[in-house]
């Protein structure tokens, strides 16, 4: 596989295949980034970012870094983005962004600054690196000889051994930190009240009412939630109706109202009579 990937090498200009890959994947990566910024839904943002990361991974492979390309696909799009999606699903409904601008003109200024920064950086890089002599990774110390993976391993365990050990400390710190931050103490006193404590608090008046709200009444004539419950003295209990019913237009509930009042059409008394007889009676009419 990586002989194929490294075939793009050789000092000198970039091969045609690589140019084609770049001009396809580069715009795809940019589109993913823009889609991530502009989509309102956070899950869509995450999926756009997955697109960007996948195309960057392929660009790494094209650029003689097959190991990093696969790590990018496995670790970033496989693990990190799935972690993002998990947290998005846990956070849930709140994940869509608010449209309200807290600072006035923030989006406009961010866009202006972004365009300015892009212009500056792109201009600087384009002017500074006009004729780049690409050395390419073909020497025995680079991708030649044992290839990319084993040379990277050699480098990590010789020249970069100390940073690599520091990395292990970092990972342990991150794991412990995530455990501490994510830990929920469910069993200790004070975090969760028992049923007895809840009842005592209710009767002490710390809640609005000691019991639960009455449910809507279900009569023999109607099973609609718009039917209020009747209190023992026969009066209507307004608390038994959902708040949604108050906000619903009365025309939408008129069918229920007539059926409860009994003023509408009565059920067909001949509904159970067999079909042949009914057609006879209709013809007689």
Nearest to residue 155, comparing CAs of 140, 141, 165, 145?
A: 141
Q: How far is the CB of 201 from another protein (least distance, A)?
A: 21
Which parts of 175-234 interact with another protein (CB under 8 A)? 175, 177-178, 181-182, 184
Cα 99 to Cα 96, 130, 171, distances in angstroms:
9, 43, 37
Backbone angles phi, psi at 165, to 5 degrees: -65, -40
Q: How far is the CB of 187 from another protein (least distance, A)?
A: 17
Which parts of 18-57 interact with another protein (CB under 8 A)? 18-19, 22, 26, 29-30, 33-34, 36-37, 42, 45-46, 49, 52-53, 56
Q: How far is the CB of 206 from another protein (least distance, A)?
A: 21
Is residue 48 within 8 A of residue 39, CB to CB? The reply is yes
Q: How far is the CB of 247 from another protein (least distance, A)?
A: 24
Which of left, alpha, beta for 98 (phi over 0: left; psi -120 to 50: alpha)? beta
Q: How far is the CB of 112 from another protein (least distance, A)?
A: 10
Cα 247 to Cα 56, 112, 250, 251, distances in angstroms:
51, 44, 9, 12
Size of the site for another protein (CB under 8 A): 89
Is residue 2 within 8 A of residue 138, CB to CB? The reply is no
Residue 22 or residue 257: which is nearer to another protein going by CB?
22
Residue 106 or residue 279: which is nearer to another protein going by CB?
106
Residue 130 or residue 194: which is nearer to another protein going by CB?
130
Q: Is the dihedral of CA 102, 103, 108, 112 positive or negative?
A: negative
Cα 283 to Cα 34, 267, 269, 274, 279, distances in angstroms:
70, 22, 19, 15, 6
Residue that the structure tokens 């650029």 belong to: 63
Residue 45 or residue 227: which is nearer to another protein going by CB?
45
Nearest to residue 64, comparing CAs of 11, 156, 141, 2?
A: 2
Which parts of 81-110 interact with another protein (CB under 8 A)? 83-84, 87-88, 90-91, 94-98, 102, 106-107, 110
Which parts of 6-25 interact with another protein (CB under 8 A)? 13-14, 18-19, 22
Which parts of 239-278 interact with another protein (CB under 8 A)? none
> Who contacts 42 (Cβ-Cβ below 8 Å, separation ≥6)?
88, 95, 96, 97
Which parts of 137-176 interact with another protein (CB under 8 A)? 137-139, 141-143, 148, 151-152, 155-156, 159-160, 163, 167, 170-171, 173-175
Binds another protein by CB under 8 A, chosen from 4, 125, 249, 269: 125
Is residue 122 within 8 A of residue 115, CB to CB? The reply is no
Q: How far is the CB of 136 from another protein (least distance, A)?
A: 6
Residue 1 or residue 169: which is nearer to another protein going by CB?
169
| Cα separation, 13 vs 234, whole angstroms | 92
User: Which 3 state secondary structure label does DSSP give 206?
Assistant: coil
Binds another protein by CB under 8 A, chosen from 10, 17, 114, 210: 114
Q: How far is the CB of 179 from another protein (least distance, A)?
A: 8
């Amino acid at each position: 596989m990586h002989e194929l990937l490294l075939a793009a090498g050789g000092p000198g200009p970039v091969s045609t295949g690589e140019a084609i890959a770049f001009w396809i994947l580069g715009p795809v990566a940019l589109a993913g980034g823009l889609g991530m910024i502009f989509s309102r839904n956070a899950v869509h943002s995450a999926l756009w970012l997955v697109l960007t990361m996948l195309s960057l991974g392929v660009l790494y492979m094209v650029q003689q870094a097959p190991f990093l390309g696969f790590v990018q696909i496995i670790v970033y799009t496989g693990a990190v983005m799935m972690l993002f999606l998990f947290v998005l699903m846990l956070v849930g409904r709140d994940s869509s962004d608010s449209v309200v601008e807290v600072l006035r003109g923030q989006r406009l200024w961010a866009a202006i600054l972004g365009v300015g920064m892009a212009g500056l950086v792109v201009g600087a890089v384009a002017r500074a690196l006009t004729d780049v002599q690409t050395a390419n990774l073909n020497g025995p110390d680079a991708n030649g000889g044992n290839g990319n993976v084993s040379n990277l391993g050699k480098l990590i365990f010789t020249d970069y051994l100390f940073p690599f050990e520091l990395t292990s400390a970092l990972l342990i710190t991150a794991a412990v930190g995530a455990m501490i931050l994510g830990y929920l103490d469910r069993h200790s006193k004070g975090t969760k009240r028992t049923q007895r404590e809840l009842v005592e608090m209710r009767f002490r008046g710390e809640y609005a009412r000691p019991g639960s709200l009455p449910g809507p009444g279900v009569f023999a004539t109607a099973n609609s939630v718009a039917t209020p419950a009747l209190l023992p003295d026969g009066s209507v209990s307004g608390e038994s109706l959902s708040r949604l019913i108050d906000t619903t237009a009365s025309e939408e509930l008129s069918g229920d109202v007539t059926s409860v009042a009994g003023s509408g059409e009565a059920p067909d008394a001949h509904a159970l009579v067999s079909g042949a007889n009914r057609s006879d009676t209709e013809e007689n009419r």
